[in-house]
């Protein structure tokens, strides 16, 4: 398969890959933003004392974590119309990604918040801050530093997961490779190019993570006792 | 071909796209029109047959890398594809048909040609190209995973109508209550279906062509197609 | 100002505060000492509601804790609490640490809060560290910021939980000096500490706790020169010997 | 209609069991192998050799940064060109083991780095050799930190194993695809597939959570 | 036994040890003191190779550190090191902590190692804690286990880096008592500490460091009653005042 590797065909398909790349990129960005929103809501519910709020969040997170994205995607894609909600594929795909990643992000944020030492919370309490003030002024600013690296890790997972959207006819990066494979019967060319594009996205996110770590690390937190 | 004889085994890559060509029946047994033809081939060669069941992504690499000797699927031999693999003579001709849900307003070709109609096709299949030409104003949605999912998409309203191989559509609508779908009489394109092997196995290609000629002459091919494709007889035995 | 009446507290099966009755007058400075695990921290943490009590009454600044009518958040603004581990906000500078609560809790204008924050930091000897982050400060400096942070709220009561025991020996005195300064302004103070020099200098009363109970109270002179109980004698001999 | 489909689904349960069996066998074997390899690489990564560290780092990047499907294809279809002929099951095991090793290596390395330097220094000061320090002092402590994320990673890897259907292995997801040809109801079929994965993964998630709770409860670190 | 000759060390641009020349005789007990950051820890960490030196000679037990011929791992078995933070192995019981190195480094049979481990733990007053995990022990008890862990290797030299400064006041004396016991067996000891009572009682010599240099050495009597330099006077006044 490799000895006849045709760069010429790849070049010919490059515009298609370009479109796919752009689609994957913006699709991932939108999904990730949605996932952040879902994650924050879930995490906020999960941190409440009231079991009434906590339990649904916990069940949701477990259900998402224990089942494959594919099943979730089809659940939405074929399930929503039965409830009379017919949405465009792209929308369903983004929704599925956001709902899926949101569960993981909720856990990441929760871990970040719980990593803030009890003493910080108590200092806030002792100076008369309300719950929301403590969250806003003391806990979240510190938790964000801890959560950004794992969040970017989750972003990497999300980008790769978005490949599954090709199953419900969303044109993205993986689709471009599949088209090359099925029009021209050149699977090696198709998949190698796809992989290269994903690798570019991966390194982009990774350097973003490194950059943010350095940027946040300007003022290393943690006292010198 | 010598390798196959020596090995005593014919390795066939199939894609399980759904009835009538290749499917897994309720008992978990692999069967279908193409599958039975391949079995016949092995019988004529006097070797065992093993099926390798890939999804679309793995099908072509399996043939190209030599994991499989030949490829049996309802595949259209386009010229672009023939640059990479060697197709046999067509074993049958089929065409793409348009179908829609019976109780919908998309009962005719004209209705489907309206702007913004959502048309479901199979990713990479000929139907995809044909649909683009026939319905320039429509929104084409390509699906992966086989014809039945097109029917499901239309049935669920994700798409208004679908375009796929006519025999596939006929075979696959069996899973629904009779009369769920309207299949339009127009055939959008006439296209052949063929098996494929590699160009570095010319002897196998010659043999396969000969095989197709033979079974066509002695009526075994027609019998197979009549059973699987042109009627719904198979449903009695395999549902 | 602070009054415990028959206060009990359990951690699970552990009875950490046993029938505490104790009252602290306005402008009084009380030092609490006792062996590790005797419940000193728990005692003063109850006062600003960091721990809740099981039974008995605890009245602080005229308000009974646990009452519906008592707004804990409001009451806490009247109470400064200094932790052993400083607990400065690591993501804020010294000045931001000091002005955070005045601005957001007391709703004082930023400029005004910063002016009084600077003044307070200067008072604890950190006029040159306004913009330093906690990680850039030594332990002693961090603890002084923590004290300034409390003072900026102009509380009626100051509580200290072993404020010097996480510090290097040479830094202890700089923090104690600041605390003596606060005591001399005659604020109500309750200090958990083993620094007996400090107790001698500023405390009106020493409270000795053991196993969750107040075993002995007295003036520093009485307590150090003539401890009444065996337990306090044993304790004093241990901490004063070396 | 649903009844009709459910009935014809019932007939496929031997196939479904086979798929479940394949998923379990595949992920079981690869997770064991991947754990062993991942531990080895994690230890090497923190051994202090820059060369090893960056070599392993590059490997991790390549594996994490490319779709798993491509990795499987490389192993199954491209390796034969270099003379390594594998059957689909072995290729699937190798690909999944490689993926598992990559993620586990990172978890183990993070666990090792989380052991306070004081522990290493104490071991150093009492004259333990490098291997003894690792074996007796660092690894047992790193283990406790790594265990919950490790089990969490297992869950992700089990789900990733579905990609092997591309090289013709009939795992649980693949069974879903096959059945949906006959019973064209994506919702129903993949809901059942989802339940299958849930049955395998949920116990692991519970286990991870238990480990996590136990770890934070018995926070055995020295209290300063 | 330990000899520094013109030793220098840098951390990046920071010159932490400045031309240290100092020798410790066999069976001598030396106390090192000085302000925070003066390089005390770095000094004694060099002795068992936890830090490496840049130039100068450091000879320990007749072997020059940094020489090819010197087997550090072996040399370290002759040196016990007690950390400020105890650094017990949290996943092992007290007895396992104490027997780990004898079994794996000295290759002593487990039964024998355990017998001597039990004996050593009993000696530091922990006969009832063989099977306790570090998290179940108080700070003072942990530090005593740490000392026993070193003694079990029967080292020639014992190094202590502020062994009591992470401890509650009442626990300090129990650890100091054990250290006095060790000193009385006339082992070569170098102790970084601010516990002047201990220095007075057992040290032959006090070394005062400041800013990376040895500023003053002398007998405890000389040093405490009549410090020679301004810097040592200022330091002593700070730590002895409270
Ligand atoms: N959150 C808690 N949950 C359970 N037990 C606790 C908790 N906090 C403290 N304790 C226990 O309550 C007892 C009293 O603790 P407290 O911290 O009040 O003692 P202390 O006198 O301040 O000791 P120290 O001098 O060590 O600070 C101890 O036995 C301690 O282990
Ligand atoms: N690993 C390191 N890297 C860089 N600088 C260091 C390192 N270890 C110590 N230092 C610096 O070297 C100087 C001396 O440190 P050292 O720990 O020896 O002081 P010390 O006298 O033991 O202080 P303390 O009483 O606080 O323990 C300090 O300024 C410290 O910040
Ligand atoms: Mg306390
Ligand atoms: Mg030190």
Task: Return the residue of E nearest to D222 by Cα.
Answer: E135
- Contact list, C90 vs chain A (CB under 8 Å): 142, 221-223
C-alpha C10: how far from chain center: 22
Coil, strand, or helix at residue C24? strand
**Which residue lies with its CA nearest to atom 13 of ligand 2?**
E37
**Which residue lies with its CA nearest to atom 26 of ligand 2?**
E36
pLDDT score for D224: 23
pLDDT score for E205: 95
How near does any CA of chain B get to the CA of D168, in Å? 4
Coil, strand, or helix at residue D183? coil
Subunit contact E101:D141, Cβ cutoff 8 A? no
pLDDT score for D220: 38
Quick one: tokens of B28?
A: 């978990």
Question: Residue B16's closest CA among D176, C238, C182, C139?
Answer: D176
| Residue in A68, A78, A198 nearest the CB of D186 | A78
Statement: residue A222 has pLDDT above 70: no
How near does any CA of chain D get to the CA of A163, in Å? 9
Q: How far is Cα D168 from Cα A52, in angstroms, rounded to an integer?
A: 46
| Residue in A178, A183, A188 nearest the CB of B80 | A183
Question: Residue D63's closest CA among D114, D106, D23, D25?
Answer: D106
Of A15-19, C96-100, E67-71, E74-78, which gets the smallest average pLDDT?
E67-71
| Residues linked to residue C30 through DSSP beta bridges, in sequence order | C190, C205
| Residue in E36, E170, E197 nearest the CB of C170 | E36
How near does any CA of chain D get to the CA of E96, in Å? 11
Task: Return the residue of A nearest to C72 by Cα.
Answer: A128
Continuous segment of H or E residues that includes residue C161:
strand C157-161
Only one residue has tokens 């007998």, namely E219
Quick one: tokens of B225?
A: 């197609």
- Contact list, C138 vs chain A (CB under 8 Å): 224
Neighbours of chain D (3+ CB pairs under 8 A): A, B, E
Tell whether B175 lies on the interface with D, counting CB pairs under 8 A. yes
Judging contact as 3 or more Cβ pairs under 8 Å, the answer for C and B is: no
Statement: residue B236 has pLDDT above 70: no
Helix axes E94-104, E110-123, angle to 10 degrees: 130
Quick one: tokens of C127?
A: 């006029």
pLDDT band at A224 (very low <50, low <70, confident <90, very high): very low
Q: Parallel, antiparallel, or unpaired: how do β-strands B23-24 and B30-31 relate? A: antiparallel
- Contact list, A138 vs chain C (CB under 8 Å): 89
Q: What is the ipTM of this complex?
A: 0.84
| Residue in E169, E176, E197 nearest the CB of C194 | E169
At the top level of CATH, which class does the domain D2-223 belong to? mainly alpha
pLDDT band at B145 (very low <50, low <70, confident <90, very high): low
E-interface mutation test, from D125, D139, D220, D224, most E Cβ less than 10 A away: D125
Subunit contact C88:A123, Cβ cutoff 8 A? yes
Q: Which listed ligand is nearest to C18 at the C-alpha?
A: 1
Subunit contact C170:E242, Cβ cutoff 8 A? no
Q: Is E6 in the pocket of ligand 2 (CB under 6 A)?
A: no
Q: Can you tell me which atom of ligand 1 is nearest the CA of C162? A: 27
Pocket of ligand 1 (CB under 6 A): C 11, 14, 16, 34, 36-42; E 168
> Which domain CATH number covers A170?
1.10.3720.10
E142 CA from centroid of ligand 1 (Å): 18
Continuous segment of H or E residues that includes residue B151:
helix B147-156
Statement: residue D223 has pLDDT above 60: no
The 10 Å Cβ neighbour count of residue A80 is 18
Q: What residues of A are in the C interface, CB distance below 8 Å?
A: 117, 119-120, 122-123, 125-130, 133, 137-138, 141-142, 145, 219-225
Of C19-23, D4-8, D24-28, which gets the smallest average pLDDT?
D4-8
Question: Residue B229's closest CA among B35, B61, B71?
Answer: B35
pLDDT score for A181: 83
Question: Residue B32's closest CA among B167, B144, B162, B165?
Answer: B167
At the top level of CATH, which class does the domain E2-88+156-240 belong to? alpha beta
**Residue percentage of chain B with pLDDT more than 90:** 0
Quick one: tokens of C180?
A: 């003596």
Question: Residue B203's closest CA among B69, B95, B102, B108?
Answer: B69
Quick one: tokens of A40?
A: 């924050």
> What phi and psi, each to the nearest 5 degrees, are found at residue A191?
-75, -35
- Contact list, A167 vs chain B (CB under 8 Å): 143-145
Tell whether A78 lies on the interface with B, counting CB pairs under 8 A. yes
Task: Return the residue of B nearest to A171 by Cα.
Answer: B142
Q: Are E174 and E205 in contact (CB under 8 A)?
A: no
Assess whether the previous peptide bond of A78 is cis (omega < 30° from 0).
Answer: no
Q: What residues of A are in the D interface, CB distance below 8 Å?
A: 1-3, 62-63, 65-72, 74-75, 77-79, 82, 156, 160, 163, 174, 187-188, 191-192, 194-195, 198-199, 201-203, 206
Q: How far is Cα D19 from Cα D5, in angstroms, rounded to an integer?
A: 20
Q: How far is Cα D117 from Cα D122, in angstroms, rounded to an integer?
A: 9
What pTM does this model have? 0.86
Q: How far is Cα C168 from Cα E194, in angstroms, rounded to an integer?
A: 9
E187 CA from centroid of ligand 2 (Å): 27
pLDDT score for B107: 74
**Residue extents of the structural domains in chain D:** 2-223
Coil, strand, or helix at residue D43? helix
Q: Taken in order B16, B17, B22, B28, is the CA torsion positive or negative?
A: positive
State chain C's mean pLDDT as an integer.
92
Domain assignment present for residue A221? The answer is no
Task: Return the residue of E nearest to D140 by Cα.
Answer: E91
Domain assignment present for residue A223? The answer is no
Q: Is E32 in the pocket of ligand 2 (CB under 6 A)?
A: no
Could you tell me which residue, A213 or D1, shows the higher pLDDT?
A213
pLDDT in tens, C156-195: 999 999 999 888 888 898 999 999 999 998 899 999 998 8
C229 CA from centroid of ligand 1 (Å): 23
Question: Residue B36's closest CA among B174, B231, B222, B199?
Answer: B222
How near does any CA of chain D get to the CA of E231, in Å? 30
Domain assignment present for residue A224? The answer is no
Continuous segment of H or E residues that includes residue B7:
helix B2-7
Mean pLDDT on B219-231:
78
pLDDT in tens, B82-125: 888 889 888 888 788 888 888 777 777 777 777 778 888 887 67
Q: How far is Cα A155 from Cα E13, in angstroms, rounded to an integer?
A: 40
Q: Parallel, antiparallel, or unpaired: how do β-strands E79-82 and E14-24 relate? A: unpaired
pLDDT in tens, C77-89: 999 999 999 999 9
Domain that holds residue A33: 2-216
| Residues linked to residue B190 through DSSP beta bridges, in sequence order | B95
Judging contact as 3 or more Cβ pairs under 8 Å, the answer for E and A is: no
Coil, strand, or helix at residue B100? strand
Q: Are D173 and D124 in contact (CB under 8 A)?
A: no
Quick one: tokens of C164?
A: 């010097």
Q: Which residues sit with Cβ closer than 5 angstroms to ligand 4, an ion?
A: E 41
CA distances from B227 to A208, B232, D41 (A): 60, 7, 58
A222: left (phi over 0), alpha (psi -120 to 50) or beta: left
Statement: residue D56 has pLDDT above 90: yes
Among C8, C11, C51, residue to substitute to test ligand 1 (most atoms within 8 Å of Cβ): C11
- Contact list, A62 vs chain D (CB under 8 Å): 202, 205
Domain assignment present for residue A155? The answer is yes
Subunit contact A178:B57, Cβ cutoff 8 A? yes
| Residue in D64, D67, D190 nearest the CB of A71 | D190
pLDDT in tens, E79-133: 999 999 999 999 999 999 999 999 999 999 999 999 999 999 999 999 999 999 9
Judging contact as 3 or more Cβ pairs under 8 Å, the answer for A and B is: yes
Q: Is E37 in the pocket of ligand 2 (CB under 6 A)?
A: yes
Q: Which listed ligand is nearest to E83 at the C-alpha?
A: 4
Task: Return the residue of D nearest to B51 by Cα.
Answer: D168
Mean pLDDT on B52-73:
84
Range from B78-87, C61-70, D102-111 that averages highest in pLDDT = D102-111
């Amino acid at each position: 398969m490799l000895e006849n590797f045709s760069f010429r065909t790849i070049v010919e398909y490059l515009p298609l890959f370009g479109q796919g790349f752009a689609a994957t990129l913006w699709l991932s960005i939108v999904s990730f933003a949605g996932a952040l929103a879902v994650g924050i809501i879930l995490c906020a519910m999960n941190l409440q004392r009231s079991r009434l709020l906590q339990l649904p969040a916990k069940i949701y997170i477990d259900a998402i974590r224990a089942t494959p994205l594919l099943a979730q995607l089809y659940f939405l894609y074929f399930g929503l119309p039965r409830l009379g909600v017919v949405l465009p594929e792209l929308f369903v795909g983004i929704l599925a990604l956001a709902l899926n990643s949101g569960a993981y992000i909720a856990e990441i944020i929760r871990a970040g918040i719980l990593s803030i030492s009890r003493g910080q919370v108590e200092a806030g309490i002792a100076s008369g801050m309300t719950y929301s003030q403590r969250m806003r002024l003391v806990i979240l600013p510190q938790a964000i530093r801890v959560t950004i690296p794992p969040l970017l890790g989750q972003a990497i997972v999300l980008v790769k997961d978005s490949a599954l959207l090709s199953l419900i006819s969303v044109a993205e990066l993986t689709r471009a490779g599949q088209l090359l494979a099925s029009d021209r019967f050149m699977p090696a060319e198709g998949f190698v190019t796809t992989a290269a594009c994903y690798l570019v996205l991966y390194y982009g996110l990774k350097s973003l993570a490194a950059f943010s770590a350095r940027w946040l690390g300007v003022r290393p937190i943690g006292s010198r006792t | 071909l010598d390798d196959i004889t020596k090995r005593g085994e014919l390795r066939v890559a199939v894609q399980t796209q759904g009835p009538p060509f290749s499917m897994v029946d309720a008992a978990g047994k692999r069967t279908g029109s193409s599958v039975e033809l391949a079995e016949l081939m092995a019988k004529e060669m006097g070797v065992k047959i093993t099926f390798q069941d890939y999804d679309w992504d793995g099908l072509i690499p399996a043939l190209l890398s030599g994991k499989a000797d030949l490829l049996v699927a309802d595949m259209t031999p386009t010229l672009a594809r023939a640059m990479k693999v060697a197709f046999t003579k067509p074993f049958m001709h089929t065409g793409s048909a348009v179908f829609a849900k019976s109780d919908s307003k998309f009962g005719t070709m004209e209705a489907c040609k309206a702007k913004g109609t959502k048309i479901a096709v199979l990713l990479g299949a000929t139907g995809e190209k044909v649909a683009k030409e026939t319905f320039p104003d429509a929104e084409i949605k390509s699906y992966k995973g086989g014809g039945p999912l097109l029917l499901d998409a239309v049935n669920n309203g994700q798409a208004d109508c679908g375009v796929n191989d006519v025999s596939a559509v006929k075979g696959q609508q069996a899973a629904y209550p009779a009369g769920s779908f309207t299949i339009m009489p127009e055939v959008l394109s006439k296209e052949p279906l063929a098996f494929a092997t590699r160009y570095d196995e010319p002897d196998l290609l010659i043999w396969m062509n000969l095989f197709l000629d033979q079974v066509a002459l002695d009526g075994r091919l027609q019998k197979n197609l009549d059973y699987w494709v042109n009627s719904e007889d198979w449903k009695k035995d395999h549902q | 100002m602070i009054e415990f009446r028959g206060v009990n507290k359990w951690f699970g099966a552990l009875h950490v505060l046993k029938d505490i009755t104790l009252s602290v007058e306005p402008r009084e400075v009380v030092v609490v000492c006792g062996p590790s695990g005797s419940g000193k921290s728990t005692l003063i943490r109850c006062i600003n509601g960091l721990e809740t009590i099981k039974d008995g009454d605890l009245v602080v600044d005229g308000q009974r804790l646990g009452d519906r009518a008592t707004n804990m958040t409001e009451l806490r603004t009247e109470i400064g609490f200094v932790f052993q581990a400083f607990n400065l906000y690591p993501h804020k500078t010294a000045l931001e640490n000091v002005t955070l609560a005045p601005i957001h809790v007391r709703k004082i204008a930023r400029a005004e809060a910063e002016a009084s924050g600077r003044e307070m930091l200067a008072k604890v000897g950190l006029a040159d560290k306004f913009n330093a982050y906690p990680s850039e400060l030594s332990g002693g400096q961090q603890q002084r910021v923590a004290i300034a942070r409390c003072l900026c709220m102009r509380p009626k009561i100051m509580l200290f939980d072993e404020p010097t025991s996480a510090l290097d020996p040479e830094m202890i005195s700089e923090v104690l000096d600041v605390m003596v300064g606060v005591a001399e302004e005659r604020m109500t103070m309750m200090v958990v500490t083993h620094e007996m020099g400090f107790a001698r200098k500023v405390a009106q009363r020493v409270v000795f706790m053991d196993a969750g109970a107040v075993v002995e109270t007295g003036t520093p002179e009485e307590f150090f020169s003539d401890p009444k109980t065996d337990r306090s004698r044993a304790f004093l001999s241990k901490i004063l010997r070396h | 209609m649903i009844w009709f489909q459910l009935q014809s689904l019932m007939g496929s349960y031997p196939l479904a069991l086979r798929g479940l069996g394949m998923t379990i066998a595949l992920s079981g074997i690869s997770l064991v192998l991947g754990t062993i390899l991942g531990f080895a690489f994690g230890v090497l990564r923190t051994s202090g050799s820059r060369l090893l560290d960056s070599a392993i780092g590059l490997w991790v990047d390549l594996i994490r940064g490319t779709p798993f499907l491509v990795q499987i294809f490389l192993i199954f279809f491209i390796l034969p060109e270099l003379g390594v002929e594998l059957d689909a099951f072995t290729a699937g095991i190798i690909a999944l083991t490689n993926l598992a090793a990559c993620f586990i290596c990172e978890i183990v390395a993070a666990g090792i780095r989380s052991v306070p330097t004081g522990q290493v220094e104490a071991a150093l000061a009492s004259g333990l050799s490098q291997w003894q320090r690792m074996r007796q002092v660092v690894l047992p402590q790193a283990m406790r930190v790594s265990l919950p994320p490790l089990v969490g990673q297992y869950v992700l890897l089990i789900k990733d194993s579905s990609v092997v259907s591309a090289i013709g292995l009939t795992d649980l997801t693949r069974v879903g695809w096959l059945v949906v040809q006959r019973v064209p109801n994506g919702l129903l079929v993949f809901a059942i597939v989802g339940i299958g994965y849930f049955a395998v993964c949920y116990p692991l998630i519970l286990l991870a959570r238990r480990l996590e709770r136990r770890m934070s409860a018995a926070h055995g670190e020295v209290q300063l």
